[in-house]
A and B are shown apart, each in its own frame.
Chain A
Amino acid sequence: MANTTEQSEQFPTSQKPAISVRGVTVRLAGDSGDGMQLLGSQLTNTSALAGNDVATFPDFPAEIRAPRGTRAGVSGFQVQFSSDEIFTPGDGLDALVVMNPAAMVTNIGDLKDGGILIVNTDSFDKKDLKLAALDKNPLEDENLSEKYRVIRVSMTKLTRGAVEELGLSPKVADRCKNFFAMGLVFWLYGRDIEPTLRFIDAKFKGKPEIADANHRALKAGWNYGETTEDFASTFSVPAAKLGPGTYRNIMGNQALAIGLITASKLSDKPLFLGTYPITPASDVLHELSKYKSYGVRTFQAEDEIAAVCSAIGASFGGSMAVTTSSGPGIALKGEGIGLAIIMELPLIVIDIQRGGPSTGLPTKTEQSDLLQAMFGRNGESPMPVIAASSPSDCFDVAIEAWRIATRFMTPVMLMSDGYIANGAEPWKIPDVASLERIVVKHPAGDSSGEQYKPYERDAMLARPWALPGTEGLMHRLGGLEKQDGTGNVSYDPENHEHMTRTRAQKVANVAEVIDDIEVYGNNSGKLLVVSWGGPFGACRTAVDQCLAEGHDVSHVHLRWLNPFPKNLGDVLSSFERVLVPELNSGQLRMLLRSQFLIDIDGLNKVQGKPFAVSEIIEKIKSYA
């Protein structure tokens, strides 16, 4: 059931004065077992419910439980909540909560001068320091208090005290300390604790004792802020002026799952997901497997290859077929995708990118699969490529990908990345009635006895989608080259060239139905920033700031990478310089240069981290 909240007042209400600020960036960092991701998602949800615009950046190690207390095991969650419209989780931190020394030394560099540092002092003993490979206690650094507002809290002890009456074991009691930290942060930023109390009740439904303990820890953290002298005031972040409508907070992979189900309903085609677990794509499987009452069939295959092949089998049968993965899995699916291309069956292939090559950086973000999406198959095998720009945009691109896949009878590659997949932002819930239907036609049965021609094409060069079970339309699809029209195996040299060009032209025809690119800022000028995928937010924010400071800069963001929008060449040539910031070594830049013969600059970062807005601003200003 949905809980609809009007923008709520803080509960309980603090008696201390509140300083109103436009926005805040907070990072919560601790051991991977400390529950930082949970804390972060609660803070995000609560802030969204308070009407703020939010953007998040969860950052966690690839190991499920890296050695406790070590730097490798540090898990972080960054959230920016604001009264302005925001597109990124923020650059510098206004506040940093650290649960141990490893978390402190790996994150403190991002805390702004004068920022608030909240420390759990109970985990800074000799052993903790050794685990973090520190010779001396960083809390004893004399400059610390000069540089930051340091709040030392004995969180473990205070939490134990708060739950003492319940008689829990110290181990269980200590697990509640993230809720203590949460209570303190909620107090500091005037967040409502009600939604989190509800969350605790739901999460620990069968364990009332644990639920009770977490309630107490949360309230104890809140009370700590209210009663101690550490803080003279709280901060308040007024609601953002988001457009009218009903909103919910949504993560990228969630939005993707919901978008896929929506596309399934809009096209009246049952959704089949053939997939294999891989970070950071598995959550799409987890989400979709919940929605059986929506007719969603999820198949966890034996491997990536079986995953794509099962989806193609389902597509042949008339389902909305989807396969999800990340870079390494997409590499394995290559042959299967090529088969879908030559069989000309609709399919959505979702690549939620991570650092590569090979296993690379499974939990870190990167945009280095663009060329794989474009060319990572044998033979000449073009396919449309679409990329999401933010968590909520995943909803829209999922629908658009299926619209194109069915209209053109082609697999479509949908690109997301770890940053978008795990990031969250408010999503304005669309009006169901306003969503455009996806019209899919299947040829009707034929009892004339004439041989059916599965490769007869329409004006866009798409072939018909004839389904097994239809009388008289029996036909065989396969990986051998087809004779156009009949679909029979053909080794004819002229036909092969004709078919190769036809498949390419069909994909090029997608440009006829997609939107032209819109320029943000002036339509011509000195510098154009071109982005795709996850860097949208950082680029838009940077361009906004530079425009406000009077710089001559514009921005376009590409949703379709193949084909490019028809007006893109004209747009690019209307600017003196073009800059493409990408989290790779220049893959979109390579495509743009080769297609448009325009010199293009790159801003390239391959650190497994998203762009900071400041990095892009600095680059833009270097053109002045």
Chain B
Amino acid sequence: MSVELPVLKPGDFASDQDVRWCPGCGDYSILAQMKKMLPTLGISREQTVFISGIGCSSRFPYYMNTYGLHSIHGRAPAFATGLKSTRPDLSVWVITGDGDGLSIGGNHLLHAIRRNIDINIILFNNSIYGLTKGQYSPTSAVGKITKSTPAGSIDHPLRPLTVAIAAEATFVARSVDFHIKHLGETLKKAAEHRGTSFVEVYQNCNVFNDGQWSYMTDKETKDDNVLVLEAGKPMVFGKDGNKGLRLNGFQPQVVEIGKDCELDEILVHDPTVADPTTAFLLTRLQYPRFPEPIGVIRDVDRPTYDFMINDQIEAAVESSGEGNLQDLFTRGDTWTVD
């Protein structure tokens, strides 16, 4: 039976709370694109849940007129796992950041991804701790000067998408707060994937780490530094559209099409390949040597945790009937006193 859903507008997903991010924060863009995209999914507000941890990004649920949990630092994937396992009917989103998701919550992120629970994890990466006012994060570059690293960071950074691939992710994508159309489309693809969708969003913190992603967003440089991935299309980029990515053995190479090689030697993107090798390779591409890919890097099928945990229950009920208390109490040997 299909129920006619009322047509919702982006404004319907806005809560009555004032948004309190700093003016100019990249989070506004992500919030706007989310509110714009959600009505296109045909899922009601009451069926939607946003769960976050702690950090600037984690205020997100308060601004959504859906169900929500603003939980504790780093643990949002665990709350989401409990909720989705017991309520597979809900559409569950996890909003996290580079500190929340990769530092204190690294463990939970790994395990949610490997279990392939059907949730969407959006990691706002601004490479800084914003809410605690400017300490370096697990994605800050070596040498980064921050409040807690006056002599420069000596921590080698993590790459969120590489971590996700290593954790057996079935859906991995990246977008940028500044590229709003691309961001909206990427969020929609994440929502449509069954299993854990992991999306890294390059997000500018204009107060503590302004310009972190400017090479990806500035008019003059972005075309040469952004590789827009599209399924079935060659990996071509550059202002003049004449640069491409080629494999030399296991090493990626930037080449000029028509000069170094022909178009047919350029890698063609296929996010559905079961083997994660190419996806891994794409997550390693880093400015300035390489353009950094945006779009869906990996999108494969694997049974979800929430499906399987409920399937085991259904199978048990089917094979032995729904359990009743009398049987439970009298299992094993009993004796009667008159």
> Which candidate, B30-38, B84-92, B152-160, is the interface stretch facing chain A?
B84-92
* Chain B residue at minimum C-beta to C-beta distance from A335: B72
Residues of B within 8 A of A451 (CB): 16
* Chain A residue at minimum C-beta to C-beta distance from B327: A2
Are A5 and B335 in contact, with the CB atoms below 8 A?
Answer: yes
The interface size bin for chain A is 35 or more
Give the contacting residue for A471; candidates B46, B319, B331; CB below 8 A.
B46
Give the contacting residue for B333; candidates A195, A245, A312, A445; CB below 8 A.
A195
Bound CA span A451–B14, Å: 12
Chain B, residues 317-338, CB within 8 Å of chain A (1/0): the string is 1011111111011111111111
Residues of B within 8 A of A307 (CB): 78
**What's the least CB distance linking B266 to chain A, in Å?**
40
| A272-B326 contact, Cβ under 8 Å, with A4-B336, A293-B316, A470-B46 | no
* Chain B residue at minimum C-beta to C-beta distance from A305: B75
> Does B107 lie at the interface of the complex (its beta carbon under 8 Å from any beta carbon of A)?
yes
Are B67 and A468 in contact, with the CB atoms below 8 A?
Answer: yes
Are B72 and A336 in contact, with the CB atoms below 8 A?
Answer: yes
* Chain B residue at minimum C-beta to C-beta distance from A395: B329
Give the contacting residue for A474; candidates B65, B78, B81, B324; CB below 8 A.
B65
* Chain B residue at minimum C-beta to C-beta distance from A451: B16
| A246-B334 contact, Cβ under 8 Å, with A430-B329, A475-B67 | yes
Are A3 and B78 in contact, with the CB atoms below 8 A?
Answer: no
Are B323 and A293 in contact, with the CB atoms below 8 A?
Answer: yes
Give the contacting residue for A489; candidates B62, B71, B77; CB below 8 A.
B62
**What's the least CB distance linking B241 to chain A, in Å?**
45
**What's the least CB distance linking B48 to chain A, in Å?**
8
Give the contacting residue for A313; candidates B51, B111, B310, B332; CB below 8 A.
B51
**What's the least CB distance linking B280 to chain A, in Å?**
23
> Does A429 lie at the interface of the complex (its beta carbon under 8 Å from any beta carbon of B)?
yes
Give the contacting residue for B335; candidates A7, A270, A302, A469; CB below 8 A.
A7
Interface residues of B in 64-105 (CB under 8 A from A): 64-72, 75, 77-87, 89-90
Bound CA span A167–B69, Å: 65
Residues of B within 8 A of A311 (CB): 82
Residues of A within 8 A of B90 (CB): 317, 468-469
| A472-B46 contact, Cβ under 8 Å, with A2-B330, A292-B313, A312-B82 | yes
Interface residues of A in 252-279 (CB under 8 A from B): 258, 261-262, 265, 270, 272, 274
Bound CA span A41–B213, Å: 66
Find the residue from A261, A262, A305 having the highest chain B CB count within 10 A.
Answer: A305
**What's the least CB distance linking A592 to chain B, in Å?**
33
* Chain A residue at minimum C-beta to C-beta distance from B70: A478
Are A247 and B337 in contact, with the CB atoms below 8 A?
Answer: yes
Chain A, residues 433-476, CB within 8 Å of chain B (1/0): the string is 00100000000010000010000000000000000111111111
Give the contacting residue for B313; candidates A297, A435, A471, A476; CB below 8 A.
A297
**What's the least CB distance linking B188 to chain A, in Å?**
21
* Chain B residue at minimum C-beta to C-beta distance from A292: B316
Residues of A within 8 A of B322 (CB): 293-295
* Chain B residue at minimum C-beta to C-beta distance from A239: B337
Are A309 and B71 in contact, with the CB atoms below 8 A?
Answer: yes
What is the total number of residues of chain B having a CB less than 8 Å from a CB of chain A? 66
Residues of B within 8 A of A6 (CB): 335-336
Are B68 and A310 in contact, with the CB atoms below 8 A?
Answer: no
Are B82 and A292 in contact, with the CB atoms below 8 A?
Answer: no
Are A49 and B79 in contact, with the CB atoms below 8 A?
Answer: no
Are A305 and B78 in contact, with the CB atoms below 8 A?
Answer: yes
| A321-B335 contact, Cβ under 8 Å, with A303-B107, A336-B75 | no
Are B81 and A310 in contact, with the CB atoms below 8 A?
Answer: yes
**What's the least CB distance linking B169 to chain A, in Å?**
16
Bound CA span A432–B327, Å: 10
**What's the least CB distance linking B131 to chain A, in Å?**
12
* Chain A residue at minimum C-beta to C-beta distance from B77: A306
Residues of B within 8 A of A296 (CB): 313
| A295-B336 contact, Cβ under 8 Å, with A305-B75, A310-B82, A474-B45 | no
Residues of A within 8 A of B261 (CB): none
Bound CA span A239–B313, Å: 41
Bound CA span A467–B310, Å: 19
Residues of A within 8 A of B321 (CB): 293
Residues of A within 8 A of B49 (CB): 468
Bound CA span A266–B219, Å: 64
Find the residue from A48, A291, A469 having the highest chain B CB count within 10 A.
Answer: A469
Residues of A within 8 A of B336 (CB): 4, 6, 245-247
Residues of B within 8 A of A178 (CB): none
Give the contacting residue for A310; candidates B45, B46, B85; CB below 8 A.
B85
Residues of A within 8 A of B71 (CB): 309, 312, 339, 478-479
| A291-B335 contact, Cβ under 8 Å, with A261-B328, A305-B78, A471-B46 | no
Bound CA span A476–B62, Å: 6
Interface residues of A in 188-221 (CB under 8 A from B): 195
**What's the least CB distance linking A118 to chain B, in Å?**
26
| A477-B69 contact, Cβ under 8 Å, with A247-B334, A488-B17 | yes
Bound CA span A432–B319, Å: 23
Residues of B within 8 A of A297 (CB): 85-86, 309-310, 313
Bound CA span A336–B105, Å: 13
Bound CA span A168–B64, Å: 70
**What's the least CB distance linking A282 to chain B, in Å?**
19
Are A476 and B334 in contact, with the CB atoms below 8 A?
Answer: no
Give the contacting residue for B81; candidates A5, A293, A313, A468; CB below 8 A.
A313
Bound CA span A474–B68, Å: 8
Are B78 and A301 in contact, with the CB atoms below 8 A?
Answer: yes
> Does B312 lie at the interface of the complex (its beta carbon under 8 Å from any beta carbon of A)?
yes
| A309-B325 contact, Cβ under 8 Å, with A248-B330, A297-B309 | no
* Chain A residue at minimum C-beta to C-beta distance from B76: A309
> Does A244 lie at the interface of the complex (its beta carbon under 8 Å from any beta carbon of B)?
yes
**What's the least CB distance linking A265 to chain B, in Å?**
6
> Does B15 lie at the interface of the complex (its beta carbon under 8 Å from any beta carbon of A)?
yes
Residues of B within 8 A of A2 (CB): 330-334
Bound CA span A472–B44, Å: 10
> Does A45 lie at the interface of the complex (its beta carbon under 8 Å from any beta carbon of B)?
yes
Find the residue from B49, B69, B309, B319 having the highest chain A CB count within 10 A.
Answer: B69
Are A313 and B312 in contact, with the CB atoms below 8 A?
Answer: no
Are A49 and B333 in contact, with the CB atoms below 8 A?
Answer: yes
Bound CA span A482–B325, Å: 40
> Does B138 lie at the interface of the complex (its beta carbon under 8 Å from any beta carbon of A)?
no
> Does B108 lie at the interface of the complex (its beta carbon under 8 Å from any beta carbon of A)?
yes
Residues of A within 8 A of B67 (CB): 316, 468, 474-476
Are A306 and B337 in contact, with the CB atoms below 8 A?
Answer: no
Residues of A within 8 A of B50 (CB): 476
Find the residue from B71, B90, B323, B326 having the highest chain A CB count within 10 A.
Answer: B71
Are B82 and A272 in contact, with the CB atoms below 8 A?
Answer: yes
Are B334 and A3 in contact, with the CB atoms below 8 A?
Answer: yes
Are A306 and B78 in contact, with the CB atoms below 8 A?
Answer: yes
Going nearest first, the 8 A-B pairs with the smallest beta carbon separation are A478-B70, A313-B82, A310-B82, A294-B323, A309-B78, A292-B316, A313-B79, A476-B68
| 22 A-B interface contacts by CB (under 8 A) | A5-B335, A45-B333, A49-B335, A244-B337, A248-B332, A274-B82, A293-B317, A294-B328, A299-B81, A301-B81, A305-B75, A306-B108, A312-B82, A316-B69, A316-B83, A435-B325, A468-B46, A472-B46, A473-B46, A474-B68, A477-B69, A478-B71
Chain A residues proximal to chain B, CB less than 8 Å: 2-7, 45, 48-49, 51, 195, 239, 242-249, 258, 261-262, 265, 270, 272, 274, 291-297, 299, 301-303, 305-307, 309-319, 321, 335-336, 339, 343, 429-430, 432, 435, 445, 451, 468-480, 488-489
Chain B residues proximal to chain A, CB less than 8 Å: 15-17, 44-47, 49-51, 54, 61-62, 64-72, 75, 77-87, 89-90, 107-108, 110-111, 309-310, 312-313, 315-317, 319-326, 328-338
Known pairs A244-B338, A429-B329 / 18 extra A-B pairs, C-beta < 8 Å: A3-B333, A195-B333, A246-B330, A248-B331, A249-B332, A262-B328, A265-B325, A302-B78, A309-B82, A310-B78, A313-B78, A314-B86, A339-B71, A432-B324, A474-B66, A478-B62, A478-B69, A479-B70
